């Protein structure tokens, strides 16, 4: 056992605590993240909110080791390191591609090429994951023929194989309809019960208020950090999503660029 903090409620966590300590990211000449410091408790559902372009996806990519950051980023696992599931914001692909849901799940979750079919070892996991998101009956549909919400359910399903101890979700609810949102809420309950750490970028602040244990506001740097009921105050939200600070930045640009 390590000294990972726990949520103080529910089961012993199987997911890691995460410590961001003065994490900065500069791409080209742009400061994307500046001295970002906050902690995610092991086994908690932790939401990340902020305006468009505030650096949320970049922080996720940094967490996944895909960005040349400065500062310290540590994952403190309660036991052996487990699997990390990642659900991206969207999936870019040619809609005309003859790729079924089964093909996509095979390509995402097994090493052998998808055209050789599903590995027997993975077939049961894939069926169970598609069942959990309500997509088992559409597994032979072409990915390009699915609605945005259905594609998002499939993206959630691929993030569940192999069973993750840490789930990193980039706006998983953005295209979900009401039924899809209920599916997602059930999954969150299951993950919380299993002690999985969930790090979740979300724009729907009502969902964050109802479903997250903790929330961090990010706009290049950390704006606030705490329990949703304490920190998501009307004044905070006004400041967070106000366009005025960005207009001030734009006014520094040459006139034609700002137009
Ligand atoms: N590879 C890159 N090179 C240069 N700038 C980048 C790169 N990736 C992202 N950025 C810039 O970093 C800033 C933060 O982008 P990011 O996608 O992390 O924000 P976000 O908070 O996830 O936004 P949204 O809510 O709109 O998805 C943006 O100004 C974006 O243009």
With pLDDT > 90 as the criterion, what percentage of the chain qualifies?
66
Q: Which atom of ligand 1 is the closest one to the Cα of 218?
A: 21
pLDDT of 151 over the 60 cut? yes
Cβ distance 19 to 76 under 8 Å?
Answer: yes
Name the closest-CA residue to atom 9, ligand 1: 58
Cβ distance 59 to 33 under 8 Å?
Answer: yes
Indicate whether residue 228 lines ligand 1 (CB < 6 A): no
Query: What contacts 82, CB < 8 A, 6 or more positions away?
Result: 14, 15, 16, 164, 165, 166
Indicate whether residue 217 lines ligand 1 (CB < 6 A): no
Query: What Cα–Cα distance (Å) separates residue 7 from each residue in 106, 176, 191, 230, 240?
Result: 35, 28, 13, 17, 27
Q: Residue 110 — pLDDT band, cuts 50, 70, 90?
A: confident
Where is pLDDT greater, at 24 or 249? 24
DSSP string, 44-86: -EEEEE--TTSSHHHHHHHHTT-S--EEEEEEE-SSS--EEEE
Closest Cα partner for 146 from 102, 81, 82, 195?
102
Number of H helices, E strands in the chain: 10, 9
Q: Which atom of ligand 1 is the closest one to the Cα of 203?
A: 25
Q: Residue 177 — pLDDT band, cuts 50, 70, 90?
A: confident
H/E element, 107 = helix 101-109
- Residue 3 has a pLDDT of 40
CA distance 219 to 51: 7
ipTM of the complex: 0.94
Residue range 58-102, pLDDT digits in tens: 999 999 999 999 999 999 999 899 999 999 988 777 777 888 999
Q: Residue 112 — pLDDT band, cuts 50, 70, 90?
A: low
Q: 168 in helix, strand or coil?
A: strand
Name the closest-CA residue to atom 17, ligand 1: 57
Q: What is the mean pLDDT of residues 167-176?
A: 92
Q: What is the mean pLDDT of residues 162-171?
A: 95
- Residue 244 has a pLDDT of 55
Taking domain 17-258, whether its CATH number is 3.90.380.10 is answered by no
H/E element, 178 = helix 178-193
Q: Tell me the best of 24, 29, 55 to mutate to test the pocket of ligand 1, counting ligand atoms within 8 Å of each CB and taking the most.
A: 55
Name the closest-CA residue to atom 5, ligand 1: 27
Alpha helix locations (H) across 218-259? Answer: 228-231, 234-241, 244-250, 255-258
Taking each helix axis as running N to C, give the angle between helix 101-109 and helix 120-132, from 0 to 180 degrees, rounded to the nearest 10: 120
Measured in angstroms, how far is the CA atom of residue 194 from the centroid of ligand 1?
32
Q: Tell me the best of 29, 52, 57 to mutate to test the pocket of ligand 1, counting ligand atoms within 8 Å of each CB and taking the most.
A: 57
Measured in angstroms, how far is the CA atom of residue 55 from the centroid of ligand 1?
5
Name the closest-CA residue to atom 28, ligand 1: 53
């Amino acid at each position: 056992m390590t000294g990972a903090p726990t949520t103080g409620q529910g089961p012993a966590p199987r997911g890691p605590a995460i410590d961001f300590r003065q994490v900065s990211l500069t791409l080209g000449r742009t400061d994307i993240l500046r001295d970002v410091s906050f902690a995610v408790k092991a086994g908690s559902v932790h939401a990340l909110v902020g305006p468009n372009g505030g650096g949320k996806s970049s922080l996720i990519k940094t967490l996944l080791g895909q960005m040349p950051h400065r500062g310290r980023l540590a994952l403190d696992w309660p036991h052996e390191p487990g699997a990390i599931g990642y659900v991206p914001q969207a999936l870019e692909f040619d809609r005309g591609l003859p790729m079924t849901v089964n093909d996509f799940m095979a390509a995402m979750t097994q090493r052998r090429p998808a055209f050789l079919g599903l590995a027997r070892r993975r077939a049961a996991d894939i069926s169970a994951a598609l069942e959990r998101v309500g997509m088992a009956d559409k597994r032979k549909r072409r990915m390009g023929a699915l609605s945005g919400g259905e594609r998002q359910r499939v993206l959630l399903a691929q993030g569940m194989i192999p069973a993750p101890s840490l789930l990193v979700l980039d706006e998983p609810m953005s295209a979900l309809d009401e039924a899809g949102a209920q599916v997602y809420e059930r999954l969150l309950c299951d993950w919380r019960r299993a002690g999985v750490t969930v790090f979740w970028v979300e724009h729907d602040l009502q969902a964050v208020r109802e479903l997250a244990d903790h929330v961090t506001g990010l706009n290049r740097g950390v704006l606030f950090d705490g329990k949703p009921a304490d920190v998501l105050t009307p004044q905070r939200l006004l400041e967070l999503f106000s366009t005025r600070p960005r207009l001030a930045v734009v006014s520094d640009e040459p006139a034609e660029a700002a137009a």
